[in-house]
Amino acid sequence: MTPADAVLAINNDLPICTDRPVHSGKVRSVYWLTDADSRRLINQRHYPVPADTPLAVMVISDRISAFDCIFHGEGGMQGIPGKGAALNTIANHWFELFRQHGLADSHIVDIPHPLVWIVRQARPLKIEAIIRRYITGSMWRAYAAGERVFCGIRLPEGLQQNQQLPQPLLTPSTKGILTGLTGVPEQDDVNVSRQQLQDNYQAFGFNCVEDIDTYEQLLQRGFALISDALAKQDMLFVDTKFEFGYVKDKDGRDQLIYMDEVGTPDSSRIWDGAAFRDGRIVENSKEGFRQFLLQYFPDADILLNKDKMEQRQALARETALPEEIMLQTSRIYTDMAAKITGKPLPLTQQPRAKIIQVLQQYGLID
């Protein structure tokens, strides 16, 4: 077996029973189940959701996306071995921690396989809930260029790169393009202030203004729980992105839940504590892969300049990255999963066949 045999690169062509088109994102593919299969599973497996809740099978791949492109490696390695299982395992761990501390539930109702979630339908908020504890990355670049107000919050003068902020900073951004909102550009991923959320709460998907408080509390408390847990492993939780949505509880009432993934190396910056105290930044997240790419390619502007997307996509398509960087990135993901959960993460060979075998037991394979 080669490292490529442990990679699930294509995840949108599995023979899963569905009567709708498969939705495939950068990393995950979603197969919506038929109404009959959803009801059957809810009844057979006693999922704690209303009987008419639509369910989906969400399959994560091992593809690696950076700068809005999918990259691959030598030796036919179309992804990072163990990456998908590591992301799911880490997110599952944090979701369970949130439940134990009474925060909120997630969209997951079952985990048949390390690469597979069965999820309930949710109505997502149209914001990416971003929280930052250190000033780095795009925020530092903007601050160094003279910007001081972020999402309506003014930062003090004299901050240094990678410095800890006075308190965690909430910097939500739009998810998707929203039109007709005063002061909100009609484009994806633009920062918005709390006042803009309040003034346009319905456009952002909130049921009521008060739910903005709820989302902020869930974001802050979730961040604090993960941060404390990572600190015990001498890691710094630098910044992260959460996503939220509404589902119906057993009594048919709307409730806010966590969605997508939380606290993973893909959705967060996580730094090594010992290195930070020594004045160095050592990434335990996908940011390390991003930094490698910026140094590997002669013209980093292609990766950073949105006007050069065609060139960037061609670069990603035509470049097979060194096998060692793919395996090194694999170790970051699998080591993080082992540290966080306290259990080793074995690599699954031939993951596609294993997923089909497991889902046959659920009666979900055509």
What is the per-residue pLDDT for 262? 96
Token digits for 172? 């939500």
Name beta bridge partners: 272. 235
- Tell me if 239 sits within 8 A of 131, measured CB to CB: yes
R_g of the chain computed on alpha carbons: 21
Every domain of the chain with CATH number 3.30.470.20 lies at 123-262
What is the per-residue pLDDT for 53? 96
Token digits for 259? 């969605």
CATH topology of domain 3-121+340-360: Phosphorylase Kinase; domain 1 (3.30.200)
Every domain of the chain with CATH number 3.30.200.20 lies at 3-121+340-360
Model pTM score: 0.94
What is the per-residue pLDDT for 206? 98
The single residue listed with the structure tokens 């809810």 is 42
Q: Note down pLDDT in tens along the chain; length 366 residues.
A: 688 899 999 999 999 999 999 999 989 999 999 999 999 999 999 999 999 999 999 999 999 999 999 999 999 999 999 999 999 999 999 999 999 999 999 999 999 999 999 999 999 999 999 999 999 998 999 999 999 999 999 999 999 999 999 999 999 999 999 999 988 989 888 999 999 999 999 999 999 999 999 999 999 999 999 999 999 999 999 999 999 999 998 888 999 999 999 999 999 999 999 999 999 999 998 989 999 999 999 999 999 998 999 999 999 999 999 999 999 999 999 999 999 999 999 888 899 999 999 999 999 998
Q: Domain 123-262 class?
A: alpha beta
Determine the Cα–Cα distance for residues 227 and 225; give it in Å rounded to an integer: 5
Secondary structure (3-state) at 121:
coil
